[in-house]
Amino acid sequence: MPSICHDTAIQEADEIYVLLKKSVRISRNLRVEWLIKNLNNDVERCQRDFILSSSNEIEILSGVSAHKYDDEATRDELKTFRLSASTAVRFLSLSYRFVFLIDVSPSLFAIDPSTGDVYYQQVSSILYNVLNGISQSFIVPGSDNYLHSPEIIITIIAFTSFYPCQNVIVQGYLLSRNTISGLLNIIKLGLHEIEDEFVRLSQNLPVHQVVSSDVQLLDMLHLGVMALKLLPENSMPEVIVLSDGITSLPETNQVDSVLLQFSSSTTPVSFIQIGAYSSGNISATFSSLGFTPNTEFLKYVSKSTLGHYVNNVDSAKTSDTAKDMNQYHNDFLIWSLQRKRPSKSKLKSSCIIGSNVFSSCSGISLLKDYESQKTGTVRQTFCSATHRVNPWLILYTRLREGWSLEDIQFHDDPDSNEIHLLFPWRHNIDLEYIIKWATNKDSLETKIELNYRGDYDFVHDISCQFATVPYSPIRSGIIKKFFHTMKTIQNNDRTIVHLHTFRLSSEHYIVPDCIRKGLPCSQYLETSKSPLPDVSDDFSKYWLPLSDLNVVYWHKWFHTHNITLILAYDNPLPKYLHIPNSSSRFEPIRCCLSFQAFTETLQKWSTFVLVESHSYVKFSFINNEDVPSGYAIVTIESSPPSLVLHIGFLCNTTPVIRQEVLDELKSLINKTTVRDKRSKFSGKSLSDATPGMKNLKQCVYIFEKSLYRFIVRYDRQPDDFLSLKPPSVDRHLHSAINLKKVKLNVDMWRKLSRYLYHIRWIWLTNDIQTRNPQITKPMLKKILSLLTKKKLLENYHPAASSNGVLNVVSEVDVTPEADSNGSQNSGTCLLQYVIFPPHVLSDGEIIDENGSGKDVATSIPDSGHDGLMHITTELWVEPQLGKLFTDLYDDCTAQNVHKHIYDADYKIVQTLLSFGQMEILCKSDIMKLPSAIPQHDESFHSLNESLDSRITVVSSEFDPISVISMSQGSAIAFSTFMEKFHSHNSTGILHSEKLPNELLFNDFLKKLGKLFDNELCLSNDQHGVYSRLVLDILEISKPFESKSHNIESNYDCNEETPKWQGFVKKIDGDSRHRMAVIFVPKSYNDICLLYNISTFGQENNYCDNGESDMPSFCLGLPMPVFLYDCYLSEICQNLLAQTGEANKKSYVFIDKQFDSHISKNPKSKSDNFTFNAFL
């Protein structure tokens, strides 16, 4: 704990090391508050044994002072020391999360003239040096031998300039000295695969699919922000970019948008330059055809985000005995609020803030920039003002906007305290913000002064606004942008003053009775863009401006937290969710009941409602005081069924209070329930519900990760399913507001396609060649509906629905694999499953000579379509390391979970498509149907081989066995004529006269053909599958034992397979998709082959002919007949419950042999079938 002790013997610390605890998130406000509180005071380091057990959020590890004796400097370890304005405060954390971005641009494949190697080959060695350096444990300088060994979780992304490439090499890897060798192998393998993909795409892709260098750099930084959100919170983040620096200058507004995201999350961006450019080797320019690195821009980004720019990477000392801090620890594990000092490591770091920070190779002046030495910097005051607010509040806001501490001046005169802040606005243009205050006045007044400094031309343009010479458009745009920035700073200052007048007037926190009873302070109207007040008093005057604040900029004034939620859908599912109605419109997923219950919960929890169904306010109290110490404002960002709760706390709210409020809110959300009209497919089986709660279901589901920004959204179907492209933006189909939203969704789709694992399955519903038979529209609707219900039962939740495209998501726990050696971090993995409505490809455009095609229809007509119909599903998986911890995906990882999902989907699609084709056969004159689309079809294979590896076209195989395996069946045994069998003792082969039974069986088949509507033909493989199914049934059946001889069915699958004949008939008068199916052996020889009569025992010779070498006996084989009640509703239930394999145990066995009785299995059903009349 800091203690004030102005002892002259206590030395001033040159630098101190401070540890941030992991239990709560330590914001910038708390860090600067701790720094200001201990400034010019004497502090004491914490003892090693009490560092981790201490309850303090920020703990002092050590202090080091430097004294110069002649030409040498000695470093003294201090127990008690003084923290001054010149002391460098270095923050360490117990947990870090790093995102490494590799800029794989075409220029990276140039040759290094100094070594003769390709620059791309240096990436793995550079990564190894950096990772090996930061993974080493080290003793904090000046500490009580405190060994700092933090938890480091990394993600590595290789970002290419080609659009369809997959970029993630590894995500969520727990780095340590024991796991770095395995990580290096993963990196080398990933870089090798990307290199092969890079070469392939560079030869085949058109020019318009290659991203420009400036767009690539910004997209890469955006991807880094996304990747950080998927890593564990309460850890210190950083993005490290490996690039050769060859890029053009991006558009300034886009750069500002990217830097805003990093500054809002306190995320430094560091650059490591690859290649010989940084060493001043002029031959490197010629090896890249004259392209030189834009190091100024890289330094500007790193400077703006308090990161580093490194242009030379050496190998760190990696011996196990070395416990000293190396250069990688100093550059990447230490964070500081203050202005960067010159790096003391061997790295040539260029992160120093100074007048010559951008003096580097640029353009033709590669070795020296003489012009920068001649150009001076001019400083000019823009404005000054006085605010009645605490100076620390202004300081907090400036730091949250990306400003850095340049200087702190605490003089003996209490009227002249100053804090200087610096913000790099543009290249060689800095903004300076000075905060002045006096501590001896009763009424605290804070004076601010806003300055800008740059070269003479820029200062002249700003100062002389009435220039007679017109400016160029670029120059005028910079001037307008500058004044807009200054105006924004002034408006932010006024907002600070307004927010922190909360406790100054009782009218701000005494809630009027009408609002306390539930009336919102304001509400949104359809014709207005901002809330309109319902009450007019001082209370509304304070709170109404808060309802207008954009949540994007909340981080400037509040401690911000987000909670990602998914609302439970309303039962039943919409009728036209997957298939359009008569007006060609789809119905979206609705969550009205859940949203109403959720807002009621927020209303009960909050102190009052700020905006109806949108914003809520909760007061916080300390020590049971009557006056609230602060408040939390909650705003709903809604895009049902998914939404995000943005929670903002005032800057003076402590982390403990923030955590208590968040825990209380999450607990209430988890307890919110809504009455379920139909709980059958509510995503949770009724057996799991507690007694008395079967009519209630959970209203809202909380996701651990920031799902809202990672939802794959389709505003409509893609234009081309055979290529991975987002839907095109049609300006005529959207209003101005919706058009902007659609463009954002398309842009997010492109980013997600680079990050997430993406697999698309195109399920063909008819033959590529014949296009027949055509599946009916109700059957396609049933398939999509069953896929949806199946996912809902697997704990997926609807996240987005638009124009028939449904996205359901699930968050699955991840555990480290057994052989991971501690390299995998436990967490969660996001799975997204997208279902598209049916689609038709027109003739002539299905497959061109290159194997690609274009879709020409967005919905299926009622009848008469003449194309290749298909349904499409997609799977998007977060590339998280580890094993999915769930019973559903047992022993699956993020890399292979798609195989399990494909198998389950294939069973559903194949079964229902076969059922639909069987229904068509009942109405068609076609005598037989091809069993399946040949997988060796040349057009089918050429299509799959020419597509992206992430797209798979699946043929629609006709498999009636999949239908009957999910249906209730009955096995009937009929008698046949007694036959005399002769057996050879040497061979054991039986011979008989089969003519009577053959005539009987042929007549029986003819009668069946007249009774049923059509035949069912099986393929050779399906004959074997059904034979094995029959044998399993015969093992538990008594009627199939012959009265004259005991039969044992010992059919060997390796021998000749019995053939089967099937018949199908639509049950008259039943409009509920119900059919009768019968299967019998195709001939009497197949009956003999089924029972494998060559293995019968020969001890009973009932018909001995007197010849010892030819024993004989008489035998009548039972003729098996299998009847199935194919009821679509029951089939769907079995597919959802996965109980088809158990159906063979519930067969009804009927014995129709002479002098027999009906024998039923105890587990069989007692009810009769509707097709018993056929007997």
Which has the closest alpha carbon to 944: 837, 858, 847? 847
Average pLDDT over residues 949-971: 87
Mean pLDDT is lowest, of 144-153, 192-201, 994-1003, for: 192-201
Mean pLDDT is lowest, of 297-306, 399-408, 1031-1040, for: 1031-1040
Residue 736 has pLDDT above 60, yes or no: no
Most confident range (mean pLDDT) of 227-241, 360-374, 848-862, 880-894 is 227-241
Mean pLDDT is lowest, of 131-145, 352-366, 766-780, for: 352-366
pLDDT interval class at 831 (50, 70, 90):
very high
Average pLDDT over residues 632-652: 91
Residue 1053 has pLDDT above 60, yes or no: no
Better-predicted residue by pLDDT, 1045 or 493: 493
Altogether, the residues listed in the chain come to a count of: 1175
Residue 1161 has pLDDT above 60, yes or no: no
Q: Each residue of 83-94: pLDDT tens digit? A: 888 888 999 998
Average pLDDT over residues 846-875: 55
Q: How far apart are CA 463 and CA 986, in angstroms?
A: 116
pLDDT interval class at 682 (50, 70, 90):
very low
Which has the closest alpha carbon to 1051: 1093, 989, 1113, 1022? 1093
- Residue 989, both tokens: 């082969």
CB 424 within 8 A of CB 402: no
- pLDDT at residue 217, as a whole number: 85
CB 826 within 8 A of CB 617: no
Torsions phi, psi for 1093 (to 5 deg): -70, -10
Residue 433 has pLDDT above 90, yes or no: yes
Average pLDDT over residues 678-702: 59
DSSP E strands: which ranges in 959-1054?
968-974, 979-983, 990-992, 1014-1016
Better-predicted residue by pLDDT, 605 or 863: 605
The share of the chain scoring above pLDDT 90, in percent, equals 22
Which has the closest alpha carbon to 942: 824, 846, 1057? 846
Q: How far apart are CA 797 and CA 707, in angstroms?
A: 12
Which has the closest alpha carbon to 394: 114, 32, 900, 875? 32
Q: Each residue of 648-674: pLDDT tens digit? A: 998 888 888 888 999 999 999 999 998
Q: How far apart are CA 86 and CA 865, in angstroms?
A: 79
Mean pLDDT (the chain) is 77
Residue 1029 has pLDDT above 90, yes or no: no
Average pLDDT over residues 856-884: 71
Which has the closest alpha carbon to 332: 58, 61, 134? 134
Helix, strand, coil share (%) of the chain residues, nearest 5: 30, 25, 45
- pLDDT at residue 1069, as a whole number: 65
Q: How far apart are CA 666 and CA 339, in angstroms?
A: 39
Q: How far apart are CA 28 and CA 9, in angstroms?
A: 32
Better-predicted residue by pLDDT, 470 or 583: 583
CB 777 within 8 A of CB 859: no
421 residue type, one letter: L
Average pLDDT over residues 796-822: 84
Better-predicted residue by pLDDT, 819 or 182: 182
Better-predicted residue by pLDDT, 284 or 653: 653
Q: How far apart are CA 1021 and CA 3, in angstroms?
A: 85
Better-predicted residue by pLDDT, 939 or 60: 60
Which strands make up the sheet holding 309-310, listed edge to edge? 168-175, 151-160, 95-104, 236-243, 269-273, 309-310
Residue tagged 């708390």 (tokens): 30
Q: Each residue of 472-505: pLDDT tens digit? A: 788 888 888 999 999 999 999 999 999 988 888 8
- pLDDT at residue 683, as a whole number: 43
Q: How far apart are CA 63 and CA 16, in angstroms?
A: 4
- Residue 1065, both tokens: 């008939």
Please state whether beta strands 269-273 and 404-409 pair in parallel, antiparallel, or not at all (unpaired).
unpaired
Continuous segment of H or E residues that includes residue 1134: helix 1128-1137
- pLDDT at residue 616, as a whole number: 94
Residues 6+ away with beta carbon under 8 Å from 972:
1039, 1120, 1121, 1122, 1123, 1150, 1151, 1152, 1175
Better-predicted residue by pLDDT, 5 or 734: 734
- pLDDT at residue 1033, as a whole number: 78
Better-predicted residue by pLDDT, 1097 or 140: 140
Average pLDDT over residues 277-306: 68
Mean pLDDT is lowest, of 299-303, 461-465, 783-787, 1131-1135, for: 461-465
pLDDT interval class at 518 (50, 70, 90):
confident
- pLDDT at residue 839, as a whole number: 84
- pLDDT at residue 67, as a whole number: 63
732: left (phi over 0), alpha (psi -120 to 50) or beta: alpha
Residue 587 has pLDDT above 70, yes or no: yes
The share of the chain scoring above pLDDT 70, in percent, equals 73
Residues 6+ away with beta carbon under 8 Å from 543:
508, 521, 610, 617
Residue 748 has pLDDT above 80, yes or no: yes
Q: How far apart are CA 162 and CA 951, in angstroms?
A: 18
Please state whether beta strands 446-454 and 378-387 pair in parallel, antiparallel, or not at all (unpaired).
antiparallel
Q: How far apart are CA 115 and CA 1041, in angstroms?
A: 84
Q: Where are the alpha helices (DSSP H) in 500-576?
A: 513-516, 538-547
Average pLDDT over residues 57-77: 69
SS3 122: helix
| CA distances (Å), origin 1143, targets 774, 973, 1137 | 30, 19, 12
pLDDT interval class at 77 (50, 70, 90):
low
- pLDDT at residue 731, as a whole number: 56
Average pLDDT over residues 24-36: 81
- pTM for this prediction: 0.85
- Residue 1167, both tokens: 């009810």
Q: DSSP of 500-512, one letter per residue?
A: TTTTT-GGGTS--
Q: How far apart are CA 761 and CA 839, in angstroms?
A: 13
Q: What number of other Cβ atoms are within 10 A of residue 181's Cβ?
A: 12
End-to-end CA distance of the chain: 94
Better-predicted residue by pLDDT, 448 or 1085: 448
| CA distances (Å), origin 621, targets 513, 626, 628, 661, 854 | 20, 8, 5, 11, 63
